[in-house]
Amino acid sequence: MKMKLAEIAKAINVKNDITAWQDVEVSSVAFDSRALDGGALFVPLSGQQDGHEFVASAFEHGAAASLWASDHEIINQNQPLLVVDDPLTALQELGRYYLHKINPIVVAVTGSNGKTTTKDMIASILSTQMNVTKTFENFNNHIGVPVTLLNMESNTEAVVVEMGMDHFGELDDLSQLVTPDFAVITMIGEAHIEFFGSRDKIADAKMEIVNGLKEDGTLIFNGDEPLLTERAEKIEQESIDFGRQLNNNLYATSVTTTAYSLEFVVNEWPEVTFQVPMIGEYNVTNALAALSVGKLLRVPVKQMKAALSSPDITRNRTEWINGRAGEKILSDVYNSNPTAVKEVLNAFSQAETNGKRIVVLGDMLELGENSNEFHRELASSFDTSKFDEVFLLGHHMKALYDALEDSYHEHVHYFEADDKSSMTAELISLVTKDDLVAIKASHGLHLETVLDGLTR
């Protein structure tokens, strides 16, 4: 983005006179005063700390200007401050304004699992034909989405926006903000069931993504999920489905798994074999979602095949990494829920090795009052002939430890959530160059520190 303060002030209804600074140009937005580019517009947000306390630091780090809430007394009158009712609302309004100014095709992606990978695959496919911006890492909420929009270059032709949620109304707000041309729902799982109570309610919340869908827009959804199929039938816009079942618009006619990749054929292009450098057949479904978008935007199948063979995937999403002992580590430490864990375990059990398969799991968060039961039920996915060692971390994983203790004996290891250092040390002492290690947990467990210990 490149905008002068005069244009920004008009877009977000600034309350003070900024004539002296109207020609100051900003080139990005930031809400962390320590990590901003020169020329940034700083957005002081209220959280555990008041962002206004860091405005001075933002200017010291090169900020060109800052928003300022009208209920805060201005301390320095000589800095380019834009006074608004609420900095967060102003950030969202500026994102909406800039989106309409650039006017790209908007693809919005949500789902209980797979939304980040699907977002990355869609962006890779569309990038073969046009200039594309996509959500950076996990910038998928009421703050991250407008930041994504404001990070678009002026030549952006398509923006792929990931949307997360854990309460009703969140996807409604985000969808109304970006008004997508295409809305993609990857699947319905148990993620955030603590807040919704049932998968039925989760489906209702996910369908909020169509609330801002343009009249001539298209919903692209997982047709293997009856909860989505029955809801999609009620919307006015066009909808198409993808999945593994043969009644979907797009489905895989065959799937072949290798040690570190997937190969599959799709009904629409029976002469083409697609390959993605990932394991887990659930990633075929993610690829089908991306292919659905590409097909609607008339990306040639040859380009889609090439894009999927080397997609730019966000780090720590079912990613193979080399460990310090020479072992292969399947890293998926950003998010976790029962469906995702079972899928990863199934895929990991098929990865070939001359050594041990070692599973490392941390708590799955936001599963509500039945959380221990959800963790205990994972025991059905464990077989001593497939997994040699199991490491479990966190309060709720104690339920899985109790369920596995009789079958795994000394080969199942349990650690409290704050004892990652002991877990890491024991793993390092156990792992050899021929082993495979799978690591998965909700981000709140911060198993990336264990991953760092194994790879450093």
> Distance between terminal CA atoms of the chain?
37
Q: What is the pLDDT of residue 47?
A: 84
115 known member of a binding site: yes
Q: Could you say which DSSP state residue 417 is in?
A: T
Please answer whether residues 107 and 293 qualify as being in contact, where contact means their C-beta atoms are separated by less than 8 angstroms.
yes
114 known member of a binding site: yes
Residue 253 scores a pLDDT above 70: yes
Give tens-digit pLDDT for 89-127: 999 999 999 999 999 999 999 998 889 999 999 999 999
Residues present in the chain in total: 456
Residue 159 scores a pLDDT above 90: yes
337 known member of a binding site: no
The alpha carbon torsion through 199, 205, 211, 215 (nearest 10 deg) reads -20
111 known member of a binding site: yes
Give tens-digit pLDDT for 394-425: 999 999 999 999 999 999 999 999 999 999 99
- The per-residue pLDDT of the chain, averaged, comes to 94
Confidence of residue 196 (pLDDT cuts 50, 70, 90): confident
Q: What is the pLDDT of residue 198?
A: 86
394 known member of a binding site: no
Q: How far is CA 187 from CA 148, 238, 325, 348, 363, in A?
A: 23, 18, 37, 21, 21
Q: What is the pLDDT of residue 349?
A: 92
Give tens-digit pLDDT for 80-96: 999 999 999 999 999 99
- Report the alpha-carbon distance of residue 453 to residue 4 in Å, rounded: 45
Say yes or no: domain 3-84 is CATH 3.40.1390.10.
yes
Among 112-121, 247-256, 312-321, 394-403, the minimum mean pLDDT is found in 312-321
Mean pLDDT of 41-67: 94
Mean pLDDT of 179-194: 85
Q: How far is CA 347 from CA 14, 80, 310, 370, in A?
A: 53, 54, 20, 26
Q: How many CA atoms lie within 13 A of 296 on its CB side?
A: 25
Q: How many CA atoms lie within 13 A of 67 on its CB side?
A: 32
Confidence of residue 192 (pLDDT cuts 50, 70, 90): low
In this structure, the number of other CB atoms found within 10 A of the CB of residue 7 comes to: 17
Tokens of 386: 């497939």
Confidence of residue 191 (pLDDT cuts 50, 70, 90): low
- Report the alpha-carbon distance of residue 358 to residue 427 in Å, rounded: 9
116 known member of a binding site: yes
What are the extents of the domains in the chain?
3-84, 104-309, 319-455
Confidence of residue 67 (pLDDT cuts 50, 70, 90): very high
112 known member of a binding site: yes
Please answer whether residues 63 and 48 qualify as being in contact, where contact means their C-beta atoms are separated by less than 8 angstroms.
no
SS3 362: strand
257-276 burial code (b ≥16 CB/10 A, e <16):
beeeebebbbeebeeeebbb
Confidence of residue 315 (pLDDT cuts 50, 70, 90): confident
Q: Could you say which DSSP state residue 35 is in?
A: S
The alpha carbon torsion through 181, 186, 189, 194 (nearest 10 deg) reads -30
The dihedral built from the CA positions of residue 32, 43, 212 and 97, taken in this order, carries a sign that is negative
Q: Look up the pTM and report it.
A: 0.86
Residue 178 scores a pLDDT above 80: yes
CATH of the structural domain 104-309, one choice from 3.40.50.920, 3.40.1190.10, 3.40.50.460, 3.10.50.30: 3.40.1190.10
Could you name the CATH architecture of 319-455?
Answer: Alpha-Beta Complex (3.90)
Give tens-digit pLDDT for 137-157: 889 999 999 999 999 999 999
